Chains A and B, each alone.
Chain A
Amino acid sequence: MGKRVAVTAVGMTRQRSARPDVSGQELIGEAVRMALDDAGMTRKDIDAIVIGNMDHFEGINYVDTWSVDGSGALMKPIMKLTTGGTTGTTIAMAAYYHVASGLFDRVLAIGWEKNSESDTTGAIITAFDPFWDRPIFAGAVAGLAMEATAYMKETGATEEDAAYVAVRERTHALNNPYAHLHLNMTIADVMNSPYLSWPVKMGDMCPRTDGACALIFASEDVADGFPRKPAWIHGVADRHLWAYTSDPYLDFKTGEAWFPAMQKSSQDVYRRVGITDPLEQFDVAELYLPYSFAGLRYMESLGFCEKGGAPALTRAGTFDMGGKCPVNPSGGVMSSNAIGATGLIRVAECAWQIQGRAGDRQVPDVELALATGFGGCFWSDVLVLGKEKPEKARG
């Protein structure tokens, strides 16, 4: 049966709006170098590599074979996985399966993106069906605005409720030297920022970032041989339910599910891992919140509260540093969004929190952490990490 898997080393570049000083390969190389140093290893000790980003963003086809000089994959197996915004978490999950399969003991997972060299919105528009969706679709912001509008209508949540999330994330980022945006922001600042697509304002939105992240995943046979304490993967799952833009909104009408991809994937993992009360059981969460309204709706979809309950819980400080379950101590995606790396950074931050290495953003005594990825047509990846070695590999 499958091996148990841990994150044993982390590398991360500082997240910046532009890194004209390095090529993509060099950017990847920075994160890889740091991860190897963190592991006290050299390239030779790595058994396999998984990498991902979005082809059309930087305009590079076959990123796995292109990146060899930066990833250290020369004469090693390297595989590429791409699932949109979820790519980073997909890479983490792929590294998990590489190791859990028993075929590889030490696997390097790399996510990266150089948005400064990309027409991100132009590329995102092409994600949608050329006949039905593309002519009316204006990139990621418009899709999120549709979600926010529907959420507000359904629950009575306000723009100010969302602004609270934006301020929280930016305030948290002040503790994170790796974060791209260090903004002292008030709710009034968010509310007064220009509308991008109603009700989403500039202050509600994530930036475009250059950055890379690299993690080393190790099997239970070798995980204790690393200088850092392992952060164990307890469970992983994903749901990519939809092909068309209009699909995700059907559920608002039926009321059967609430962001069904996230609900189904989180319930899948919770069942495997034994989570019955996420708010009580998780000590910290690093969630892929691409904009502020997600910080409300996702909490409900992830089972932290009832439908419509997130604004009150959020305003009560439940998800602030010092609250019951701090969300995004790192400042999250609203403070840095190197898209292909973003999901992997969530896993990296969870690992640092579990290892007690999160510096000024450390949450005390983290036993269990939740990481998510969001992307594509409202897709969701969910990973649970813990301090304790799980009883068995639960996928």
Chain B
Amino acid sequence: MEPVAVVGVGMTQVKRERKADGYPDLVFDATRAALDDAGMSIDQIDNVVTISNDFFDGRTISSMAIMDACGSYDKNVTTVEGDGTFGAFFGVMRVLSGSYGTTLVCAHHKGSESQMPLITNAMFDPIFARSLGIDAVTSSALQARAYMAKYGITEEQCAMVSVKNHGNAFKNPIAQLPLELTVEKVMSSPYIADPIKLLDCCPISDGASAVILASEERAKKITDKPVWVKGVAHCSSAYQLGDRNLYCVCALEEAAKKAYAMAGVSEPARDIDLAEVYDAFSYMEPLWLEGLGICERGEGGKLTESGRTALDGELPVNASGGCLSGNPVLVAGLNRIIECALQIRGDAGEHQAERVKTAVAHGINGPCGQSHCVWVLGGEK
């Protein structure tokens, strides 16, 4: 793959409710922040990719509403529906095509104006599954249970993820929900859908973010701290939950394999310095780390217990506080990429980890992580 760099990043604060702002306002703030970060004007942006979802926005063709806000007037612009990691991948393709030197990618989400159970229920088969009332939380509970039953992962191990990530969030000024937790506190929080408890869940959030991608030639002119996209790939598994072994994340394994091959990562546990994964529920972090090959299948719980994934551990995971500390859906994946970029640049402030040369960002689409997108980012080409 020819070199493509992240040259500018912008995130709004993630909050429970941004009542005074419509989503174009959020998008404007994020776009403005990314342009400022890159020291660019909107005229230097060659094309735009927006990330939207009509169900969450309550509008058909919801990207229409942000066309002004993201500065796409008289530019080639398109809309990916799905997580930010997927939209940003399309942005990379637009640069690699040779047609554009720079791509602005922006995502928005207002959970405060969404009906999460109804909207996530609409992911499921309208005839066979929807009438059961299944949604993101209950389907994830099935996956958590399957994962625990298969490998002996414990609720306490999952609770440790929640303790760690909410603790990291204290150091991240954009995080919505820094919490001083203990395993006992998580364990004694009420069950939302067994085995998932309240403090195992991400919150509902409002937020937006934007990333500017550039070709090697343009990147050199824009910044002296480019973050290079070393490898990126995505993959989908089966739709019906019953067609999958929910504890086996084969699509993530496949996506990671391809991304690592592009990036020249042969031993992920050794070659990767930091990971930002899509931890909408606490059990997801160890499960995705298995899929990413950072540990063996079934070893995710022990990995968390070992402390290696802590901010001061050998391989910090969700140093930002992760989705558990603020989850504007669709934006969440883009934020994972941005957090990795900041860590590689050494600009992560208080949640900066030591020696981050290579980082992995991860996003998901569909129920129980049906589809996964994996990014390997690095400070050197």
Contacts and interface: CB of A to CB of B under 8 A. Distances in A.
Given A65-B236, A81-B78, A81-B81, A102 B96 contact: yes
Given A75-B250, A393-B99, A239 B366 contact: no
A104 to B, nearest CB: 9
Interface residues of A, number: 63
Contact of B93 (A62, A97, A242): A97
A82 B67 contact: no
Contacts of A63: 81
B131 to A, nearest CB: 13
Interface in B69-125: 72-82, 86, 89-90, 92-94, 96-100, 119-120, 122-123, 125
A55 B254 contact: no
Contact of B2 (A56, A83, A102, A124): A102
Nearest to A52: B81
A103 interface: yes
Contacts of A60: 122, 126
A126 B60 CA distance: 6
B61 A376 contact: yes
Given A55-B54, A66-B123, A79 B238 contact: no
B316 interface: no
Given A79-B82, A80-B80, A68 B61 contact: no
Interface string A80-98: 1111100000100110111
B55 A100 contact: no
Given A239-B76, A242-B67, A100 B238 contact: no
Contacts of B77: 238-240
A357 interface: no
Interface residues of B, number: 63
Contacts of B76: 237-239, 268
B233 interface: yes
Contacts of A78: 236, 371
Residue of B24, B94, B251 with highest tally of chain A CB at under 10 A: B94
Interface in A60-76: 60-69, 73-76
Contacts of A52: 81
A73 B55 contact: no
Given A240-B72, A241-B74, A68 B239 contact: yes
A394 interface: yes
Given A65-B370, A79-B80, A126 B236 contact: no
Given A56-B54, A97-B90, A243-B67, A64 B82 contact: yes
A395 interface: yes
Contact of A395 (B63, B100, B371): B100
B20 interface: no
A77 B65 contact: no
A158 B25 CA distance: 43
B58 A2 contact: no
B197 interface: no
Interface string B252-287: 001100000000000000000000000000000000
A66 B65 contact: no
B13 interface: no
A307 B64 CA distance: 28
A52 B86 CA distance: 14
B132 interface: no
B60 A123 contact: yes
Contacts of B94: 97, 101
B328 interface: no
A130 B367 CA distance: 29
A73 B61 CA distance: 24
Nearest to B215: A1
Nearest to B68: A243
A62 B74 contact: no
A247 to B, nearest CB: 9
Interface in A90-133: 90, 93-94, 96-98, 100-103, 123-124, 126-130
B234 A2 contact: no
Contact of A59 (B62, B122, B238): B122
B1 A241 contact: no
Contacts of B54: 54-56, 82
B239 A75 contact: no
A377 B63 CA distance: 11
Nearest to B251: A75
A356 interface: no
A70 B266 CA distance: 34
Contact of B65 (A64, A73, A129, A264): A129
Contacts of B73: 241
A69 B78 contact: no
Nearest to A5: B97
Interface of A: 1-2, 23, 52, 54-57, 59-69, 73-84, 90, 93-94, 96-98, 100-103, 123-124, 126-130, 237-243, 264, 268, 375-377, 393-395
29 contacts: A52-B81, A54-B60, A60-B122, A60-B126, A61-B120, A62-B123, A64-B81, A64-B365, A65-B371, A66-B366, A73-B236, A77-B235, A81-B90, A83-B61, A83-B78, A83-B79, A90-B78, A101-B92, A102-B96, A126-B60, A127-B62, A128-B59, A240-B72, A240-B77, A241-B74, A243-B64, A376-B64, A393-B99, A395-B97
Given A56-B54, A68-B238, A100-B98, 8 more contacts: A54-B60, A66-B125, A77-B233, A84-B64, A97-B97, A130-B58, A393-B97, A393-B98
What 7 pairs across the A-B complex have the smallest Cβ distances? Answer: A395-B99, A65-B366, A2-B98, A101-B96, A100-B97, A84-B61, A101-B93
